[in-house]
Each structure stands twice: as C-alpha cells, then as structure tokens.
C-alpha cells in the first residue's frame, strides 16, 4: 500500500486528523477505493452497446414512450460529493424502439462518472438522439446535491431540475406534454 490509491486515502485520513491505523479505519482505504471504482464505473460504458434497439414493434408507433422517475447516484466533479435523484426519459420512435431497461442503463453509464447535473442531462439526451435516431427525445432530472446541502450554503432539501429537449420535443405542444408527464418528480 505504499504508492497506490489506498496510500492516498491514508494520507487524506491523516490530513483530517485521523489515525488510519485505528481499528475502524484500518480497512477504509481499500473500501473507499473499491467504492470509488463502483461510483465511477461509467467511464468504460459505450452508449451504442447499451441501447440495444428493436426494429420490430415501432413501425406503427408514433407516440411518446416515457420511463419516469429512474433513480441515479453520481459524484459532483467540483467537490467529489454525491448528488442523487431521479430522471424521466422519453422519446418518440422513428423506426426503432429500445428495451426500456436500457434507458436506466444509459442514465447510469453517464451518472457513474465525475459529473455535473447539466452535462448528465445533455449526455443522456444526445446519446439517445445519436444511437436511436428517434423523432425526438426529452430528459428531465431532479436531484439533490450534498455539496450544496452539507457544506457551503447548507440548504438541505434543495432540488435542482434540468432538462434537455431534442427534435419534436422542442415543439410547444410536445414539450408541454412531456413536462406534464415529468412534473412532480422528487429526488
């Protein structure tokens, strides 16, 4: 444990005034590195491999497909503090549909990186447009940020909402329908 990431965690523990050799902290560096790997496991994900498309089933379907309130966890890239919430993801298919679970996997692929909510929202929407080529898509994310709740301004319970709309979803009537379906989300 001389020069690896566990050593860096030991140094951080010492920096805050802790003894990394005391009983409760002895295995913390290893556990923290393992947790960090899990929390940032999205870097290797490829949206094109996640979004398995089906060419059958969508040829006559031209309405909105919506998966609401998909939970996610991420790390703020500014403070390395967690932020978490729910996303609603919708699209109107052109010729292909995607397995519904793949929308949650796509969200996790981007959430499991050092992130900001604005980029996360945009990345999910752009990946849908690029990989699925729908008529349009929309993503709304409502999240709580521990960097804002537990430090700095310290405003527990504050919710940040972001959205990204593409294609047909920028039309006022489609935008209104989508945002009404996503309304009321709480992280």
The domain that contains 53 carries what CATH number?
Answer: 3.30.1130.10
pTM: 0.92
Q: Look at residue 187 and tell me if it is in a domain.
A: no
Q: Look at residue 33 and tell me if it is in a domain.
A: yes
- Mean pLDDT, residues 10-24 taken together: 96
Q: Output the 3-class SS for 101-169.
A: HHHHHHHHHHHCCEECHHHHHHHHHHHHHHHHCCCEEEEEEEEEEHHHHCCCCCCCCCCEEEEEEEEHH
Q: Which residues are catalytic?
A: 76-79, 117, 145, 147
pLDDT digits (tens, 9 = 90+) for 35-87: 999 999 999 999 999 998 876 666 678 899 999 999 999 999 999 999 999 99
Look at residue 2 in the predicted model and tell me its pLDDT: 65
pLDDT digits (tens, 9 = 90+) for 20-43: 999 999 999 999 999 999 999 999
Same domain, 95 and 141: yes
pLDDT digits (tens, 9 = 90+) for 95-142: 889 999 999 999 999 999 999 999 999 999 999 999 999 999 999 999
Q: 3-class DSSP state for residue 73?
A: strand
Same domain, 27 and 119: no
Q: CA 50 to CA 48: how far, in whole Å?
A: 6
Domain with 128, as residue range(s), is: 43-182
Give the tokens for residue 186. Answer: 């709480």
């Amino acid at each position: 444990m001389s020069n690896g990431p566990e050593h860096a965690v030991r140094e951080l523990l010492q920096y805050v005034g802790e003894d990394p050799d005391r009983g409760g902290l002895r295995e913390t560096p290893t556990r923290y590195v393992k947790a960090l790997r899990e929390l940032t496991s999205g870097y290797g994900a490829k949206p094109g491999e996640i979004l398995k498309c089906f060419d059958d089933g969508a040829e006559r379907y031209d309405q909105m497909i919506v998966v609401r309130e998909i939970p996610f966890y991420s790390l703020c890239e500014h403070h390395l503090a967690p932020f978490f919430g729910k996303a609603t993801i919708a699209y109107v298919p052109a010729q292909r549909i995607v397995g519904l679970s793949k929308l949650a996997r796509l969200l996790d692929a981007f959430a499991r990186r050092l992130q900001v909510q604005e980029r996360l929202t945009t990345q999910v929407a752009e990946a849908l447009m690029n990989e699925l080529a729908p008529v349009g898509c929309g993503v709304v994310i409502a999240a709580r940020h521990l960097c804002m709740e537990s430090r700095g301004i310290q405003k527990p319970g504050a919710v940040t909402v972001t959205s990204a709309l593409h294609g047909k979803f920028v039309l006022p009537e489609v935008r209104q329908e989508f945002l009404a379906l996503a309304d009321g989300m709480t992280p």
